[in-house]
Structure 1
Amino acid sequence: MSSMLIRNAHAYVERGHFEEALLIEDGIIRAVGSEAALRAEAPGDVKVWDAKGRTIVPGFIDSHQHLLNTGVMLSDVRLQNAKSIADVKRITREYIEERKPAPGTVLHGMGWNQDYFTDEARMLTRDDLDAITTEYPLVFERACGHMLTANSAALARAGVDESIVAPEGGSIERDANGRLNGIFTENARAPLLMLFRNRTADEDVALIRTAMRHAAECGVTSVHTCDVRGGTWETVIEAYNRVMADHPLVRVWHQSSFQSSMEDYKRFLAAGHVMGSGNALHRFGPLKLFVDGSLGARTAFMRKPYHDDPSTVGIPTMTPEEISEFVNVAADHNCGVVTHAIGDGAIERILDAYDATLSGSNPLRHGVIHIQITDRPLLERFTKNGILALVQPIFLHYDTKIVEDRVGKDLAATSYAFGTLKKLGVHMSFGTDSPIEDMNPIDNLYCAVNRRRLDGTPEGGFHPEECVDIYDAVDAYTIEGAYASFEEKVKGRLLPGYYADLVVLSENIFEMDPLKLRETKVDATMMNGEFVFERQGA
């Protein structure tokens, strides 16, 4: 039996309750309290670890992200910091020069955002990417992940020509002459995405490990991840099984996406991957659906036309009938559903589907992910059947720049309504949607409690009435994430009987000026009773 006594700590138990010591045995917290009391309980060979007075919180639980894709982002062409189309070209040419990929290798990039471009604030096009290279197929995903641009070599590799017709729930753009300009959204992206998603299990193992190291550095000890998808699910699961059997750094709860193929989903279920199957480190969770796109790309599905483009209400990616079929099949196998829904039309559509199968309670813990554009009646609908809210406060960093243009000031004022969701008693958990945003929980907490962008603007915060305080924000990142995976009795608190998943912080986030939260660093991360990250010099 291995045991550790953490002493001299400021360990967060619950609002207003902190303890100075934790006794850990075989990956489980056995006791919390005073150092003297815990030393009396500890075995003689207990290892003592001095927290040096630092604040300790439960391990952060990212309740929606894409861990495998985070590994992809960290390994492929990184476009998050591109401030111009010229930057995109420079970054890609430098990547090719440094990596020297084999001729014809498909190169994938992530993170570009035309709203940050200072030379021309427009979408990347096929011609922009052709100017970089015609030798390598390029597929560059916008920051939202719902739009991509491909060069001519990629179109040819994917078998896409000028005769292509956009599928239902997707769009394919053309220039003024009717020629494909390389921009594809939502369901139309499939043939281009498959150019780089058909990886081997060995490749996926390396990417998952890369992402887990980043998670540990961020203090994230559990992820609810959407990596298992129709078409590639068997390879991805093989990779995860290998990683999780060999010293994993993070607990994994899968949100599995199969809306492209009901037959694939039924095969997945028949293989035994129903919600709750697995072990304490690696479990299968709910079905993940996508019913619209993103606000930045104007593909989020709205009830009324966009304020800055009345020609569109966005793109609904599933019909109500398709949604109901998947929700019902999942329920038949005792599986919950969590659904990407950003626009108010999309949120309304998925709540309609959930409400049709529920009556006052939510035993499968169906949830809605993102929940960005709302009015008060729509928010109140979450209380009817106890629907979970899986939100990303970090989205405020970018979206506060565009939301009033997209939906108008009135609707923007009732959107990203984390304070209202909390007041209504909705089970609300935090995540980052990594790699759409970085996995860093500190920035996420900053946005939740301040309602400001990471540069501190706007003064006073964006609709500060929707702020949550630091206690509620930490709880949303810990115990509420555990609730979303049915683990609130064993994870998300520093209490006896709970997993020894915890984070040592450089600052006392509960008493510091909220505007200085970003000064906080993760000094150490423990998962399952073992330190998986310790910051040098901390």
Structure 2
Amino acid sequence: MSIFINGKVVTLDDKLKIASAFKVKNGLFSAIGNDDLILELKEDCEEVVDLGGKTVLPGFNDAHLHFLSYAITKNSVDLTKVTSIDNLIDTVKNFIKERSIEDGEWIVSRGWNENFWDTPTLPSRYDLDKISKTHPIYFSRACGHIGVTNSLALKKLNIDRNTPDPDGGIIDRENGEPTGVLRENALNSALEYLQPMSKEKIKTLLSSAFIDALSVGLTSMSTEDIWQSGSIENTIEAYEELKNEDLLPIRIVQQMYLPDNESFDTCKRMNLKTGYGDDFFKIGPMKLFQDGSLGGRTAAMEDEYSDTKTKGVSIHNDKSLNELIHKGHDNGFQICAHAIGDRAMRELLNVYEGIYDSSNKDLRFSIIHCQFTNENLLKRFQSKNIIANVQPSFVMTDYPIVEKAVGKKRAETSYAWRSMLSNSIHTVFSSDAPIESFNPFEGIYAAVTRKDLKGSPSEGWNTHECISVEEALKSYTLEPAYSNFEENKKGTLSTGKFADFIVISHDILEIPADDIKDITVLETYVNGERKFKKTNV
């Protein structure tokens, strides 16, 4: 039991928006109000914590990321800072040398983005061959929808000029010969070869990354890890063991990648469906992919891209998409689906609406990313209460390429968070880490200013879609809780809810919007227990 006083407590609860004190008991907020009121509730031997005037917020909830993938990337060669193909080659060569990695061992990582390079060209097998011809190499682009291998990896994956493109995937070729670049479902050959990951490895990787999340104020997250681990059993058991060993400091909702009948059979055998678990680890929605990425020009668009003769890739045709979503729903799963392009969203909504029309349940299906919406799509979201799960940090890295890719007209209606909120669409924020940083303050800054971390463009990009700080905060707290049917348990500082909260360095409601990105977390509490404290303050 503890009492916290002398703070600026931003509750995000409309019944009492600002308080100065609160009491925590049995992991819950038992009272919230002014100092005098809360001090009257003090019990014998109860600790009183003076917040020193600091601002307190509900703990942040990242509504979609790949936390295991983040942990893998953290412990692999760092591709996020490379500036060219030559720099990529040198960086990986040094990594292999420094780690004394033996011949034959795979070199795997993720995170390059050629749009930030001196010459924005995709690396090829021949570039990676300059790194090593004795180590098979597989690197995923930052978006996760394009990968590249060296020649040895292609040989191990049995990919050659006679290998056909898989459904929903592309093997890039030059004069008929694979270049090493794999797109969408063509990536599966590499992922299947490398997987599955052991339970012990998963636990070790996750444990190496929890403090990173706590240090930026994350107390809950919805993560999709199955695609990366390759094993439903090992992933679920790893989290459950961490929880049972009291080594899981963050509340986890696992989004389930279930691409085939074997995956569904495993879930049935393990009794897994949405809601299975408890308040620290539970099963969330089934996750599926319907298109690719903007950077790779594989996002499925109604009209051609402006700079290339393609409309992107729909990973599932109408029949298989309908069957997959219905199978997930029939097996007790809420549904969330990746869709960036307007065509992909239309295809998903067509299926969603059919299920909504035949059900009287509160389904809370969602679409993740929703970058290229239009007025008709937003009306369809609103009419069926479809949740838009968006990543505000994407605007910081994408704005320089959006107009080039899709033209000015479509660019003006993209990343349309203001329009979503104005249409009363439940809009939840997430990072899609490791594609972007999972620091929520960077996401809030992007949502409020529409600028990158360097302050460009100086006036903001498409500022008609900016939202307020309070709206952004709710999209990182209350709205993600709603998306997982947990709005009565967390998302605001309210009596009876989990005592998940953070103490921050500056008053986010008062500082200039351009400074929001620089806010730091001083302390993070989960269930009323301090899980992180910043040192050298």
Q: Same fold (TM over 0.5)?
A: yes
Cα deviation digits, residues 130-157 of structure 1 (max 9, x gap): 0011121111111110000001121122
Aligned to 2:226: 228
Name 2:206's counterpart in structure 1.
208
Residues 128-527 of structure 1 correspond to what in structure 2 (within 5 A)?
A: 128-175=127-174, 177-229=175-227, 231-246=230-245, 247-259=247-259, 261-309=260-308, 311-359=309-357, 363-527=362-526
Bigger mean CA offset, 204-213 vs 354-363: 354-363
Cα separation, 2, equivalents of 1:243 and 1:434 = 21
Query: Contact between 2:160 and 2:177, CA under 8 Å: does it hold in 1?
Result: no
The amino acid that maps onto 1:198 is: P
Partners of 1:231 and 1:264 within 8 A in 2: no
Alignment-mate amino acid for residue 526 of structure 1: Y
For 2:271, what is the secondary structure of its paired residue?
A: coil
Matched, 1:65 2:85: no
Which sits farther off after the overlay, 496-505 or 46-55? 46-55
What is residue 46 of structure 1 aligned with on the other side? 46
Q: Partner amino acid for 2:129?
A: D
Partner Cα distance (2:261, 2:419) in 1: 36
User: Residue deviations 1:352-392, cap 9 Å, x none?
Assistant: 11011113976121000000011111111101110001100
Of 314-323 and 287-296, deviating more is: 314-323
Match of 1:28 in 2: 28
Contact map agreement 1:58 1:492 (CA 8 A) in 2? yes
* Larger mean Cα displacement after TM superposition, 337-346 or 88-97: 88-97
1:493-534 deviation digits (Å, cap 9, x = unpaired) = 111111111111101011111011122111111112111111
SS at the partner of 2:235? helix
Deviates more, 1:228-237 or 1:441-450: 228-237
For residues 498 and 198 of structure 2, the distance between their equivalents in structure 1, rounded to whole angstroms, comes to: 33
Identify the range of structure 1 (361-370 vs 227-236) with the bigger mean alpha-carbon deviation: 227-236
Contact 2:239 2:248 in 1 (8 A): no
The SS at the match of 2:445 is helix
> Cα offset for 1:197?
3.3
Q: For 1:422, give the aligned amino acid.
A: L
Q: Secondary structure at the match of 1:382?
A: helix
By how many angstroms is 1:87 displaced?
1.6
Judge which range, 82-91 or 445-454, deviates more.
82-91
Secondary structure at 2:338's aligned position in 1? Answer: strand
Normalized against structure 1, the TM-score is what?
0.96
* Counterpart residue type for residue 220 of structure 1: L
Distance 1:501 1:87 in 2: 42
Q: Is the 1:104–1:136 Cα contact (8 Å) retained in structure 2?
A: yes
Kindly state the Cα deviation for residue 326 of structure 1 after the two structures are TM-superposed: 2.0
Contact preservation (8 Å) 1:61, 1:223: yes
Q: Cα RMSD over matched residues?
A: 1.5
2:54 corresponds to which letter in structure 1?
R
For residues 49 and 386 of structure 2, the distance between their equivalents in structure 1, rounded to whole angstroms, comes to: 41
Aligned residue type for 1:90: D
* Cα separation, 2, equivalents of 1:179 and 1:509: 54
Aligned partners of 1:193, 1:160: CA distance in 2, in Å? Answer: 13
Residue in structure 2 matched with residue 77 of structure 1 by the alignment: 77
Q: Distance in 2 between matches of 1:488 and 1:453?
A: 31
Letter in 1 for 2:204: A
Question: Any unmatched runs of 5+ in structure 1?
Answer: none
The residue number in structure 2 matching 1:90 is 90
Q: Secondary structure at the match of 1:471?
A: helix
Question: What's the CA shift for 1:48?
Answer: 2.1
- 1:231-260 CA-to-partner distances (Å, cap 9, x unmatched) read 51111112111222223121111110112x
SS, match of residue 172 in structure 1: strand
TM-score (norm 2): 0.96
Segment drifting more, 235-244 vs 417-426:
235-244
Q: Could you tell me how far apart the structure 1 residues matched to 2:262 and 2:97 are?
A: 43
- Is the partner of 1:153 in helix, strand or coil? helix
SS in 1 for 2:63: strand
Distance in 1 separating the partners of 2:244 and 2:102: 32
- Whole-Å separation in 2 of the counterparts to 1:341 and 1:362: 24
Once the two structures are TM-superposed, the CA of residue 220 in structure 1 deviates from its matched residue by: 0.6
Helix, strand or coil: the match of 1:285? strand
Distance 2:182 2:522 in 1: 42
Task: Say which is worse superposed, 321-330 or 505-514, in terms of deviation.
Answer: 321-330
Tell me which residue corresponds to 1:10. 8
CA contact (8 A) 2:197 2:230 kept: no
CA distance in 2, matches of 1:162, 1:79: 28
SS in 1 for 2:428: strand
Shift of 1:159: 2.7
**Deviation (angstroms), 1:102:** 3.0
Match of 1:117 in 2: 117
Amino acid at match of 2:367: V
**How many residues are matched?**
532
Instruction: Return the offset for 1:183.
Output: 0.2
Three-state SS of the structure 1 residue aligned to 2:40 is helix
* Secondary structure of 2:10 counterpart: strand
1:94 aligned counterpart, secondary structure: helix
Task: Say which is worse superposed, 445-454 or 223-232, in terms of deviation.
Answer: 223-232
Please give the per-residue CA displacement for 1:49-100, whole angstroms capped at 9, x wherever unaligned: 2221111111100000011111111111111111111221122122112222
Equivalent residue letter for 1:293: G
User: Residues 211-247 of structure 1: CA distance to partner in whole angstroms, max 9, x if unpaired?
Assistant: 2221111111111111124951111112111222223
Instruction: State the Cα distance separating 1:266 from its structure 2 match.
Output: 3.5
Which of 481-490 and 99-108 deviates more?
A: 99-108
User: Deviation digits for residues 412-454 of structure 1, max 9, x if unmatched?
Assistant: 1011000010111111110000011111111100100001112
SS in 2 for 1:462: coil
Letter in 2 for 1:213: I
Q: Give the secondary structure class of the aligned counterpart of 1:77.
A: coil
Q: Which runs of 5+ in 2 are unaligned?
A: none
Instruction: Tell me the secondary structure at the aligned position of residue 88 of structure 1.
Output: helix
Q: How far apart, in 1, do the equivalents of 2:485 and 2:86 lie?
A: 47
Question: Which residue identity does 2:343 align to in structure 1?
Answer: G
Shift >6 Å, 4+ stretches: none
Corresponding residue number in structure 2 for 1:105 = 105
Q: Percent identity?
A: 33
SS in 1 for 2:214: helix
Tell me, yes or no, if the aligned pair for 1:67 and 1:212 is still in contact at 8 Å. Answer: no
